């Protein structure tokens, strides 16, 4: 945890950084993943590991947290450098595709690959080492975020109902998939969910938002204390 207490002075009554001393794994360093990682690090999360096997392309610059000069670089190394620059936090990286390796701590599925989400769930389901799974999905200006306690069978059943195949996912035109204000909002909501987990307050099981209409709907709110039994 960063030693500079003044760095977090403005948030101490909201979230003391010492409450964030648990591991967080983010699967995907693209639009959602990069926004979430930078926000989590700025909030005080100091044990973050990011998985991604992709490289930054020119079209990524407008909708991801990255520097223009990093075009052609692995997304993980570019995000590591940017996060260190902006927060002083040194994240850990795995420059490879997630293929079902062991996981622990809070897990954030921030990939656009449904197969990867299914692999994450195979590892997370009924796994006592994973207290919370956050699955964030985005399509253009719309998003859906699931917050699931893997040890809770009812939540697991609900999540599996929404863990559809890649063939069932909506196909958007290449030029209508993402715009920067959507992943930045999602990154903030992921950080809020992590904060709620850290302090033991209510976490919504599902969040839907429609940015053009400025609507946000939360459903089936639950608390960590009840659902992690």
Quick one: pLDDT at residue 170? 57
Question: Token digits for 202?
Answer: 């209510």
How large is the average pLDDT for residues 49-59? Answer: 97
DSSP symbols for the chain? --S-GGGGGGGTTT--GGGG-S-EEEE--SHHHHHHHHHHHHHT---EEEE---B--GGGTTTSS--GGGTTSBHHHHHHHHHHHHHS---EEE-S---S----SEEEE--S-HHHHHHHHHHHTT-TT---EEEEEEETTEEEEEEE-TT-HHHHHHHHHT---GGGS----GGGS--THHHHHHHHHHHHHHHHHHHT-EEEEEEEEETTTTEEEEEEEEEHHHHT-
Quick check: 151 pLDDT over 90? yes
164 pLDDT band, cuts 50/70/90, is confident
How large is the average pLDDT for residues 191-219? Answer: 94
- Planar angle of CA 109, 111, 115, nearest 5 degrees: 90
Of 101-105, 174-178, 191-195, 208-212, give the lowest mean pLDDT range: 174-178
Each residue's pLDDT tens digit, 55-100: 999 999 999 999 999 999 999 999 999 999 999 999 999 999 999 9
112 pLDDT band, cuts 50/70/90, is confident
Quick check: 228 pLDDT over 90? no
The model's pTM is 0.91
Quick check: 147 pLDDT over 90? yes
Each residue's pLDDT tens digit, 19-42: 999 999 999 999 999 999 999 999
How large is the average pLDDT for residues 93-122? Answer: 95
Quick one: pLDDT at residue 6? 86
Quick one: pLDDT at residue 139? 87
Task: Delineate the domains of the chain, giving CATH numbers in brackets.
Answer: 13-227 (3.40.50.720)
């Amino acid at each position: 945890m960063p030693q500079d207490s003044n760095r977090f002075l403005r948030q101490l009554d909201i979230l003391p950084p010492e409450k964030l001393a648990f591991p967080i794994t983010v699967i995907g360093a693209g639009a959602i993943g990069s926004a979430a990682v930078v926000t989590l690090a700025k909030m005080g999360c100091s044990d973050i590991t990011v998985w991604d096997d992709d490289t930054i392309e020119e079209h990524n610059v407008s909708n991801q947290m990255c520097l223009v000069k990093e075009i052609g670089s692995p997304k993980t190394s570019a995000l590591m450098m940017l996060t260190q620059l902006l927060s002083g936090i040194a994240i850990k990286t795995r420059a490879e595709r997630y293929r079902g390796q062991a996981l622990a701590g809070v897990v954030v599925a921030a990939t656009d690959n449904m197969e990867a989400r299914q692999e994450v769930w195979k590892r997370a389901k009924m796994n006592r080492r994973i207290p919370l799974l956050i699955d964030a999905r985005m399509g253009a200006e719309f998003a859906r975020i699931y917050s699931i306690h893997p040890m809770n069978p009812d939540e697991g059943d609900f999540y599996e109902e929404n863990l559809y195949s890649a063939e069932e996912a909506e196909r958007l035109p290449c030029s209508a998939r993402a715009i920067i204000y959507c992943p930045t909002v999602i990154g903030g909501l992921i950080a809020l969910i992590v904060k709620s987990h850290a302090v033991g307050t209510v976490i919504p099981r599902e969040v839907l938002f429609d940015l053009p209409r400025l609507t946000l709907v939360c459903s089936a709110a639950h608390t960590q204390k009840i659902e992690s039994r």
